[in-house]
Chain A
Amino acid sequence: MSQNKRSGRADHAPADSPPPIDLDLRSKAPQAPLTPQTERFHIFLIDTGWNVPVSKAVRAHIPLLHQYSRQDTLYILTPEQSVEVLKHMPETIGHDPIVVVYDRYGSHSKHSRNYHGFRLNLGLIKNPEQALARLQEFVRFVSMNRTADCLDTEVKRSLHREGLQGMVKILREASTELL
């Protein structure tokens, strides 16, 4: 699959007929121990353009996002493609820009038919600066947890601020916002 993807990337320049990319977003057991260089995530940006200020801020930072996760594959959907995809998930209409991250090597469970990862609903944030802060947190999280066995646990602990440490972090953030 990696080979196919690489060839897809190479053929992105005008060419006759690029070979089809065989994409399977389901998680599977890694063949080798995970390293920081492992191509682990498929990242999709779904953005219909509904939330204009946040959309502009996110799109302006896509090159940076790509630079931080060169090992992974990033896909940017057009507004039309985003609308089509969100029709499958109507409850998230208006939550875009949404960054959807599929983990190729997530732990298996019956609940999500072996699709693992997480999503970042940036459209829920009205202020572009706050949205960028969350995007930075997301990039930091992905970089720091590339080799984690169970990403779901890390999301809860780190991003949802669960536990005592998370509570302290919430308080610290609240005090910073007040300043």
Chain B
Amino acid sequence: MNEEVPIVPIIVGVLGALYFGYEIDRQRNKLRAIFNVFDRKESLIASALEQLVESGQLKPYVPGESV
């Protein structure tokens, strides 16, 4: 009846799980920063890109041309 609750393993387990969750979240945030789905910003640069192409200043890449 007077069995002691193993506090230390529980704390270690909880801390391990918290770190695991934190690390997964950190990695996902990093990936979200690298691979970003479009938002309003891309619509702002879209017109600039369209203008560059339509004015002939920016042309489709052709293999063999220097970049």
Contacts and interface: CB of A to CB of B under 8 A. Distances in A.
A contact face: mostly helix, strand, loop, or mixed? mixed
Contacts of B8: none
Interface string A79-115: 0010011101101100000001010000000011101
A112 B49 contact: no
Interface in A113-162: 113, 115-122, 124-125, 134, 138, 152, 155-156, 159-162
Interface of A: 5, 8-9, 12, 18, 20-26, 44, 59, 62-63, 66-67, 73-77, 81, 84-86, 88-89, 91-92, 100, 102, 111-113, 115-122, 124-125, 134, 138, 152, 155-156, 159-162, 166-167, 170, 173-174
Given A66-B63, A100-B42, A122-B34, 16 more contacts: A23-B49, A25-B49, A75-B53, A81-B52, A88-B41, A89-B45, A92-B41, A111-B40, A115-B38, A116-B38, A117-B38, A118-B35, A119-B42, A161-B27, A161-B28, A173-B27
